[in-house]
Structures are given as C-alpha cells and as structure tokens.
A = this chain, B = another copy of it.
Amino acid sequence: MKTALTELLGIDIPLIQGAMAWISDARLVAAVANAGATGVIAAGGLTAGELSSQIRKAKTLTDKPFGVNVMLMAPNKEEIVEVICAEYVAFVTLGGGDPVPYIKRLQASGSKVIPVVPNVKLAQKMEVEGADAIIVEGMEAGGHIGKITTIALMTQVIPHVNLPVVVAGGIVDGRGMAAALTMGAVGVQMGTRFMVAEECSVHPKAKEMLIAAKDTDSVVTGWTCKYTARSLKNALTTKLQQLEIEGGKATEQEIKRLILGAGKKGMIDGDTEWGMIMCGQSLYPITKIESAKTIINTIVDEVKQAINKATALIL
C-alpha cells in the first residue's frame, strides 16, 4: 500500500495512531511504529520536560518514524514546539488552534507538518501556508470534535486541495480504511481502536467499558462552553447533558468544573462514572485487547478484502 503518506513519512502502512491526551505515549507509539504503521505522542497535558523524555524513550523502543501532536490550546505550546525542534521527530500534527506560526519552524527542524483541519477553507489555507499534508477529522471522532462528519469532509476536502489528505473520525477497521482510500485519502488516523491495544496505558476498567460499548453509547457534551467532546455515556455525561440542555440551570463555570481533568480521571485513574472515556462513535469493532501488531495486521487484511470485493462489483 504505497500512498503519498507512506512516501512522505517513510512508513509501510498508511495508518496513523492518533494523538490521545494522557494515553498515546512512547510505549504505544513505538509498538505501532514497529508494526509498520506510525503513531503520535500526545503532548497535551505534558510539560516540555515530560515530552522530551517521551520522545527519547520512544527512540529507544523503535527506529521507525513517529510523530508528536501539539495541542494548540495548551498554555505551554511554545516550549512544546521548542522541544520538538530540539529532539527531532518525523512529523508533527497540530490541532485546536492556528498552526500557521509553527509550520516553517517545525519544517526547519526536519519534521513534516500535518495540521488537523475542520473544513475546506482551512484546508486550502494550509496548502498556501506550505503544510506537508493535512488530517480531516469528522465529528464521529472521540475527544474534542467539530461539526462536519467524516464522509462530508472526504467528499468535500479531498478534491479541493493539492495536499495529501489523511482521514480520521469513526474509522476503526479495514473496511473504513478501504473506504477512505477509495475516496482518495492517502491514509487514515485511528484513535479509539488503539485504546484497547495491549501497549496502551488506558485503565483496564475503561478498556472493559469500551469493549462492552455499542453504536449508541457515545455522547457529545460540553458544547455550551466550547469543550465539545465525544465520550462514553456515564454518570458525568448524563449530568452534563441535563445541565446543558436545561439551559440557564448551570453556569458555564459549573460545567467547566465538571469537565476539566475528567479525561485523565476516566482513562488513567479508571473512574468510569465521573471521568470521561473519550472515544469515537464506531465502537462495535472494539471487541478485545490485542497487541498493536495484531490490530494493524488485521486492519491491513480487511483493507485488501474490502477493495477486492468492490473491484469484483465493477468488473
């Protein structure tokens, strides 16, 4: 599977394990990279020193290319970018703010730069600004989300930029990956699927909950205070939905207090009721804990099967 993404990053499989705050660390990223795909260390929530340690640790675990994600709402983003430039990683994904001030700087350090964009206009802007590729992420993704879905983004962004487009959001298996490639994507990014990797530090109780979850079990909260995020339904999201839908019953401050820190509480500490288990809308295929290598090999086989079946249709 040679695509513009495998060429750009020097990888075998056009699949990126996406950044997930707290949980996509050196161990997961290295396991994914060693299996022929590539992974992204999430800098969100890390100090500059912690990120530096994670990058160095990943380099002891793999000699394959991997990336770092810069969360552009983070107050320490300048220091984070400095660390990335000093340590060198193969690529940097950026989301949650304006990536433009960082593109040339990161490229000068040797990294490829891949902003995450929510619509055609910003995709075209990234092309003008010299990004190496872009990621479009649909609102069926986990964590912080926008409004446009994956199919609508693929339909509209891919033909309107001269940049390689990686697709994310609701894609968790090889059929989804095959669909994205068929639409002209150069690869896909998956988060949720890797949350149940053996090498992923998600708390066992949160992994269990993800494995049990169905298509209707994710919910969007935080939209009244710009912390729009998708996560598993639990006591916290039910409370948030009450407060947000019955508007005027809670201040933005009260809602924020419930949300801040909830990701770490849920996914690392295993508080599956009052923490947030961020995840995408495609949950049925999340059925067991497996090694990153097994997950990736299964996906590759599924891609080939799906495309072969489609090929037979048009003969």
Chain A, 264-315, CB within 8 A of any chain B CB? 280-285, 303-304, 306-311, 313-314
Residue of B nearest to A300 (CB): B314
Stretch at the interface among A55-63, A165-173, A255-263: A165-173
B-facing mask of A156-190, CB < 8 A → 1, else 0?
11111000000001111101101111111000000
**B182 and A155 contact, CB distance less than 8 A:** no
What are 22 of the A-B contact pairs (CB < 8 Å)? A119-B214, A119-B216, A120-B215, A121-B216, A138-B151, A140-B148, A148-B281, A149-B151, A150-B151, A152-B170, A154-B175, A154-B176, A155-B170, A155-B282, A156-B215, A156-B283, A157-B215, A178-B182, A179-B180, A184-B309, A307-B310, A310-B311
Chain A residues with a Cβ closer than 8 Å to the other chain, count: 61
How many copies of the polypeptide does the oligomer hold?
2
**A216 and B148 contact, CB distance less than 8 A:** yes
Partner of A307, one of B152, B285, B311: B311
Report if A3 contacts B (CB, 8 A). yes
Q: Which residues of A contact B (CB under 8 A)?
A: 1-3, 119-121, 138-140, 147-160, 169-173, 175-176, 178-184, 214-216, 224, 245-248, 280-285, 303-304, 306-311, 313-314
